[in-house]
C-alpha cells in the first residue's frame, strides 16, 4: 500500500514540477502544441492556464493561422493575451479576410476590440472589392460612427477663395480644400481634396487693451463623405504660398511675409481655380496675417491644429 501511495505522490510532484517549469506559453508554443496531435481541448486548457505571454496583434493571429492553428485555439489566444495590442483599423480587417479568417471570428474580434475605421463611400467599395462581406462592413460602419479626431490634429488646407479683411467682413466663410489627407495613425480618415471652410473672425486679444479685438483665420469645417465635420481650430500655425514657397511658422508672431504665388499647386478643388488665383494674386502678392489686417491670396497653404476633439460623422 505504501509504495503505491509513494508513487502517486511522486507522480503528482513531477506533474507540478513540469507545469512550474513552463509557467507561461508563447505563440510558438501554441503552434507546436496545435501541430503535435494533441486534442483541441487539451491545447485550449493549456492556453487558459499558462497563456500569459501570448500576443494577439493581427500579424500574430495571421501567423498562427498560416501555421495550421484553428480558429477556436486562436480565439483562446485572443482571450488570454496580455499587454497592449495594436488598434484594429480598416487595413487590419482586409488582412484578416485575406488570411481566410471566418466572418464569425472577425466579428467576435471586432466586438472585443472596437476599431477605428474609414468607411466613406469610396472606401466601402474598395473593401467590398477586397472581399470584405456586408456583415463585416455593417459592423465597421457602426463602429466607425463613433470615431473622433483628437485635439491637436494637424489639418493642412489650400485656399480656393482669396481673403482680404479690407473687403471681406468678419464672420464670412471662404472655400478651401484639404492639401494633405487627415490621418489617425496610418488610417486615412479624410482624403486629400475634401472640401473645407475657413472663417475670418474677430478675436479678443487678451494681451492688449481690454476689449481690443484682432483679426485671424480659423478652420471651421471639413466635409467627410458629404457630411460636414465641425472643427474648432487654433489660429493659423503655418502658412505659405505655392508649393515652392518657403513656409513661415507662428503666423501671429510673424505678422507679414512676402509669399510669391506661383502656378497651380495641384491636388484638390483648389487646382481647378489655379489660373484665376494667379491672375488675382499677382506675381508679387503678399500674405498678411497682422492683428489688424488679414490678406491671404487664393492657393495659399494654411496649417491649423484642432483646439478640441472633433466628432467624425
pLDDT tens figures, 17-60 = 444 445 789 999 999 999 999 999 999 999 999 877 898 999 99
Residues 210-265: pLDDT tens digits? 455 578 899 999 998 788 889 999 888 776 765 444 444 444 433 333 332 333 33
Q: Is 201 helix (H, G, I), strand (E, B) or coil?
A: strand
Determine the Cα–Cα distance for residues 230 and 246; give it in Å rounded to an integer: 30
Does the pLDDT of residue 194 top 90, yes or no?
yes
Separation between Cα atoms, residue 58 and residue 274, nearest integer Å? 44
Residues 159 and 307 occupy one common structural domain: yes
Q: Is residue 65 pLDDT above 70, yes or no?
A: yes
User: Are 117 and 182 found together in one domain?
Assistant: no
Same domain, 118 and 218: no
Residue 174's pLDDT band (cuts 50, 70, 90):
very high
Residue 233 sits in which domain range? Answer: 149-311
Provide the pLDDT confidence category of residue 273 given band limits of 50, 70 and 90.
very low
Q: Are residues 20 and 101 in the same domain?
A: yes
b/e per residue, 268-301, with b = 16+ CB within 10 A?
bbbbebbeebbeebeeebbbbbebeebbbbbbbb
Q: What was the pLDDT predicted at 204?
A: 61
Given a contact cutoff of 8 angstroms between Cβ atoms, the answer to whether 267 and 179 are in contact is yes
- Judge whether 134 and 293 are in contact, CB under 8 Å: no
Neighbouring-strand partners of residue 228:
223
- Domain boundary at 124, 146, 168, which? 146
Strand-pairing partners, residue 50, are none
Closest CA to 123 of 113, 109, 137, 110: 137
Asked whether residue 162 falls in the same domain as residue 201, the answer is: yes
Span 151-170, average pLDDT: 92
Residue entry with cell 481690454: 210
43 Rama sector, left if φ>0, alpha if ψ -120 to 50, beta otherwise? alpha
Specify whether 121 is located in the same domain as 174: no
Whether residues 222 and 287 share a domain: the answer is yes
Query: Could you give the number of structural domains in the chain?
Result: 2
This prediction's pTM:
0.47
Domain boundary residue among 106, 125, 146? 146
Q: DSSP letter at 267? A: S
CATH code assigned at 254: 2.40.128
Residues 138 and 253 occupy one common structural domain: no
Residues 141 and 12 in one domain: yes
Last residue of a domain, one of 146, 168, 184: 146
Host H or E run for residue 252? helix 251-254
Q: In the prediction, which pLDDT does 51 show?
A: 76
Same domain assignment for residues 260 and 138? no
Closest listed residue to residue 248, CA positions, set 303, 198, 191? 303
Beta bridge partners, 156, equal 303
170 and 27 together in one domain = no
Nearest to 302 by CA among 156, 101, 150: 156
Verify that 133 and 191 share a domain, yes or no.
no
Amino acid at each position: 500500500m505504501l509504495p503505491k501511495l509513494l508513487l502517486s505522490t511522486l507522480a503528482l510532484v513531477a506533474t507540478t514540477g513540469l507545469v512550474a517549469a513552463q509557467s507561461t506559453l508563447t505563440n510558438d508554443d501554441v503552434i507546436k502544441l496545435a501541430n503535435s496531435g494533441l486534442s483541441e481541448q487539451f491545447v485550449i486548457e493549456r492556453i487558459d492556464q499558462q497563456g500569459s505571454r501570448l500576443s494577439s496583434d493581427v500579424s500574430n493571429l495571421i501567423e498562427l493561422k498560416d501555421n495550421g492553428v484553428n480558429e477556436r485555439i486562436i480565439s483562446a489566444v485572443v482571450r488570454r493575451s496580455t499587454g497592449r495590442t495594436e488598434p484594429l483599423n480598416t487595413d487590419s480587417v482586409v488582412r484578416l479576410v485575406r488570411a481566410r479568417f471566418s466572418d464569425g471570428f472577425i466579428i467576435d474580434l471586432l466586438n472585443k476590440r472596437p476599431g477605428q475605421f474609414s468607411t466613406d463611400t469610396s472606401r466601402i467599395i474598395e473593401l467590398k472589392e477586397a472581399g470584405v462581406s456586408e456583415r463585416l462592413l455593417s459592423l465597421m460602419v457602426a463602429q466607425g460612427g463613433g470615431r473622433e479626431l483628437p485635439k491637436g490634429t494637424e489639418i493642412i488646407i489650400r485656399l480656393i477663395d482669396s481673403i482680404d479683411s479690407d473687403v471681406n467682413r468678419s464672420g464670412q466663410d471662404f472655400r478651401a480644400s484639404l492639401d494633405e489627407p487627415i490621418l489617425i495613425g496610418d488610417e486615412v480618415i479624410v482624403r486629400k481634396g475634401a472640401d473645407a471652410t475657413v472663417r475670418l473672425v474677430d478675436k479678443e486679444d487678451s494681451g492688449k487693451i481690454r476689449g481690443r479685438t484682432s483679426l485671424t483665420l480659423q478652420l471651421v469645417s471639413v466635409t467627410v463623405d458629404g457630411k460636414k465635420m465641425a472643427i474648432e481650430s487654433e489660429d493659423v500655425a503655418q502658412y505659405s504660398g505655392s508649393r515652392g514657397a518657403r513656409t513661415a511658422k507662428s503666423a501671429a508672431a510673424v505678422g507679414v511675409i512676402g509669399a510669391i504665388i506661383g502656378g497651380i499647386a495641384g491636388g484638390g478643388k483648389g487646382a481647378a481655380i489655379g489660373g484665376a488665383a494667379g491672375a488675382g494674386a499677382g506675381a508679387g502678392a503678399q500674405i498678411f496675417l497682422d492683428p489688424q489686417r488679414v490678406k491671404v491670396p487664393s492657393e495659399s497653404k494654411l496649417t491649423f491644429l484642432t483646439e478640441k476633439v472633433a466628432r467624425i460623422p
